[in-house]
Amino acid sequence: MSKLSEIFKNHKAFIPFVVADDPDFDTTVQNIIALAKGGADIVELGIPFSDPVADGPVIQAADLRAFQANVRTETVFEIVAAARKETAVPIVLLTYLNIPFKYDYDKFLQRCADLQIQGLVIPDLPYESRDEIVPIAIGYDVDIIPLITPTSGQRIAKIAQNATGFIYVVSSVGITGERDDFYDGLKELVTTIRQYTNVPTAIGFGVHTPKQAHIMAEIADGVIIGSALVDIVATKKQDAPNTIEAFTKKIRQAIDSSQTIHA
């Protein structure tokens, strides 16, 4: 069992997401620290990308703000290094495949290992192409976290059987963004995944309220929230950390009130 998987043992995990360098370097560092203080189990940090095909308008706008701040891949690693001076919270990166490819897979994963970045979420990495990066990631003890969606169908078994860290369960068909309606078969989808693996599941895409977080924690082993937090950053800018910490505490309480624990 990987270090990321261990986080979910007898405990429902909260995984909040923010975009690196939105609105600037120092605020991102403080946002990571605020998430940790608020009770995040894992922080998902997005590397801005010019064509984020899985992301909705809120996160796309954050990527553009980061580009205006002159973000680079190295900037993201420097942000993590600065945050590491204040917190040991587990961090995973949300990245599109071209970023580590251009950086060089081996060098990218070496940097991840050096900074205790424990996993990568790569939305545009098909299962069939995973051998391009997974063997290198294994060498650095970094999990490549797979996504399973309501349309994964017959591919669920092979994706789940080869998963490490945790499985990102996509709550709905479409892109990221706050929503009130989710896929009706989420519970059945998670049950199907559990037939093939003991790797924990975490539901993301659209979750944005404490009530929704509680419901998703009853279904899966963890909850991922992104756009709601990114929206706080967009509104509060440099004043975001305090609001982020308070929001995180509310979500933490909602998740902890879930009674269904899968050991």
Reported confidence tier of residue 33, pLDDT bands at 50, 70, 90: very high
Give the per-residue pLDDT at 181: 60
Task: For the chain, give every domain's residue range.
Answer: 12-256
Which residue in 44, 143, 178, 221 is the catalytic one? 44
CA–CA distance, 46 with 58 (Å, rounded to integer):
13
Residue 104 annotated in active site: no
Among 102-111, 141-150, 166-175, where is mean pLDDT lowest?
A: 166-175
Q: Do 252 and 89 contact (CB within 8 A), yes or no? A: no
Mean pLDDT of 33-49: 97
Q: Residue 34: is its pLDDT beyond 60?
A: yes
Give the per-residue pLDDT at 177: 46
CA–CA distance, 36 with 89 (Å, rounded to integer):
6
Supply the mean pLDDT for the chain.
Answer: 92
Among 18-32, 130-144, 180-194, where is mean pLDDT lowest?
A: 180-194
12-256: what CATH class?
alpha beta
Q: Residue 247: is its pLDDT beyond 90?
A: yes
- Reference 112, options 200, 3, 18, 39; nearest CA is 3
Q: Which residues neighbour 181 within 8 Å (Cβ) at sequence distance 6 or greater?
A: 172
Residue 78 annotated in active site: no
Reported confidence tier of residue 36, pLDDT bands at 50, 70, 90: very high
* Each residue's pLDDT tens digit, 78-116: 999 999 999 999 999 999 999 999 999 999 999 999 999
Is pTM beyond 0.85? Reply is yes
Q: Which residue carries 């990166």 as its tokens?
A: 93
Give the per-residue pLDDT at 263: 42
Which residue in 55, 63, 178, 245 is the catalytic one? 55
CA–CA distance, 78 with 75 (Å, rounded to integer):
5
For the chain, where are the E strands, in sequence order?
13-19, 43-46, 91-94, 117-121, 143-145, 147-148, 167-170, 201-204, 222-225
